């Protein structure tokens, strides 16, 4: 199957340039945008042609932090529904967290997840293995050596590794296996039953707060361990100004440390909270000063990438207000449009920088296959076509994800995903939004 994406602005590494993209099998190539020459040249015959009409084409987005809930919690999400949602958001690769049942702490348990991925995934799905045998932040290490060939890294996401000695042991083991430790940082002794940020809204509305120190104190511990052990260490969903400062200093010292934040921490703060479960996630929305520090971290390179922490739950689980609802919101289908609207349109970052954060950096840092730019040389045909200058509205009830909880429901945005292509196959097209 040979496909032509004609008349697009294509990401070539540092900028978008006018090109056509030819997809031949599972490879993509830049070719001249001269449509007359293409039509006249017998060496170019296409099974299908999409007129992009000035729309933009970039490497497909990559999210290193999603929850697809299967096996074990398919009422929240499945591999199929989660990858449908990812494709609708422009993602061609996601890395799925291990808070599942059974937890992927050994090869036998992981095999169940891999079988479902093989059968149902629309895009590339790469799992994490757990750090601990019970994915509880406390028990003995998982069977890391037998898991390593099949996983992108090791994480106990959802809980922090509570003991320094256990984290050091995990780092030493992961380093020998050439896999990163990917950490949810949370000191449980500092939580005190909190469920939103210990800030302005909590104090004025009588809610129990989660202090910032519960996050940054483990980051402070772990970056020193990463420097000591030499293990690649990636920090999940950074949310506090102290965390940004610690990571910045660790990077300056040459520690093998990377990190992510999520769209909601860059756009909202605790003053935006409402008495609604769709505003509850972990870490919680922090203060205005924390949001400003995260943006500064994006600008100076302290924060390497943006991940969604897509965490679907049932409607009932999210209908119990701030105190009673489950932690977690969905984000795969809305992330790009929201970030383009709030960061690019406001001139905080460029569109090229956003592609770097959502597509290029995750692939480079996690050594994932897929293009980081398009060129005349063959590249994996994992692409997204988007319109960066059109109006749309976030509509949760239309999400392909089983999860519908987002604080951005009803928000006006200025970008749309038009088409997503994975391994040369069209896995999402929105005919109403410009696809043919």
Burial of 31 (0-12, 13-18, 19+ CB in 10 A): middle
Query: Can 345 be counted among the known catalytic residues?
Result: no
Q: Which of 157, 222, 304, 309 is catalytic?
A: 309
How big is the CA angle at 156 (ends 304 and 88), to the nearest 5 degrees?
55
Q: CA quadruple 150, 155, 157, 159: dihedral positive or negative? A: positive
Q: How far apart are CA 127 and CA 248, in angstroms?
A: 28
Q: How far apart are CA 68 and CA 308, in angstroms?
A: 12
Where do the H-state alpha helices sit in 89-210? 107-120, 144-147, 164-176, 200-205
Q: Residue length, the chain?
A: 436
What is the Cα–Cα distance from 402 to 76, expressed in whole angstroms? 6
Q: Are 76 and 101 in contact (CB under 8 A)?
A: no
Give every CB contact of residue 154 below 8 A, 6+ residues apart in sequence: 128, 129, 130, 131, 142, 144, 147, 170, 174, 179, 180, 181, 182
What is the separation, in whole angstroms, between the first and last Cα of the chain?
16
Residue 367, Cβ density class (10 Å: 0-12 exposed, 13-18 middle, ≥19 buried): exposed
Catalytic residues: 309
């Amino acid at each position: 199957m040979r496909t032509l994406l004609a008349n697009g602005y294509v990401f070539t590494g540092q900028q978008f340039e006018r090109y056509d993209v030819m997809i031949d099998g599972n490879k993509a190539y830049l070719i001249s945008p001269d449509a007359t020459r293409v039509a006249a040249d017998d060496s170019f015959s296409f099974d299908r042609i999409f007129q992009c009409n000035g729309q933009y084409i970039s490497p497909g987005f990559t999210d290193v932090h999603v929850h697809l809930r299967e096996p074990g919690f398919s009422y929240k999400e499945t591999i199929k529904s989660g990858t449908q949602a990812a494709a609708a958001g422009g993602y061609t690769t996601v890395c799925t967290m291990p808070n599942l049942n059974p937890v992927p702490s050994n090869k036998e348990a992981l095999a169940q997840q891999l079988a479902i991925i093989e059968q149902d995934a629309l895009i590339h799905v790469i799992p994490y293995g757990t750090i601990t045998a019970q994915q509880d932040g406390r028990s003995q290490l998982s069977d890391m050596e037998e898991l390593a060939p099949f996983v992108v890294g090791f994480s106990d996401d959802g809980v922090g590794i509570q003991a320094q000695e256990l984290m050091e042991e995990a780092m030493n083991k992961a380093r020998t296996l050439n896999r990163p430790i990917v950490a949810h940082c949370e000191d449980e002794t500092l939580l005190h039953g909190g469920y939103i940020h210990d800030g302005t809204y909590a104090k004025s509305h009588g809610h129990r707060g989660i202090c910032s120190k519960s996050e940054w104190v483990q980051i402070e511990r772990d970056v020193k361990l990463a420097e000591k052990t030499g293990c690649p260490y990636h920090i999940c969903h950074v949310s506090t100004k102290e965390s940004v400062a610690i990571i910045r200093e660790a990077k300056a010292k040459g520690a093998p440390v990377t990190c992510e934040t999520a769209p909601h921490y860059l756009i909202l703060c605790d003053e935006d909270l409402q008495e609604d479960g769709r505003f509850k996630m972990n870490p919680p929305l922090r203060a205005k000063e924390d949001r400003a520090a995260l943006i500064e971290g994006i600008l100076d390179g302290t924060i390497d990438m943006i991940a969604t922490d897509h965490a679907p739950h049932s409607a009932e689980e999210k209908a119990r207000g701030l105190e009673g609802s489950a932690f977690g919101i969905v984000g795969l289908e809305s992330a790009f449009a929201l970030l383009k609207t709030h960061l690019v349109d406001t001139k905080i970052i460029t569109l090229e920088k956003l592609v770097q954060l959502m597509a290029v950096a995750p692939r480079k840092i996690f050594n994932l296959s897929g293009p980081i730019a398009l060129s005349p040389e063959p590249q994996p045909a994992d692409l997204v076509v988007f319109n960066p200058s059109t109006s749309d509205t976030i509509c949760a009830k239309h999400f392909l994800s089983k999860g519908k909880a987002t604080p951005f429901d009803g928000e006006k945005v200025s970008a749309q995903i038009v088409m997503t292509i994975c391994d040369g196959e069209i896995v999402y097209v929105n005919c109403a939004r410009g696809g043919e």
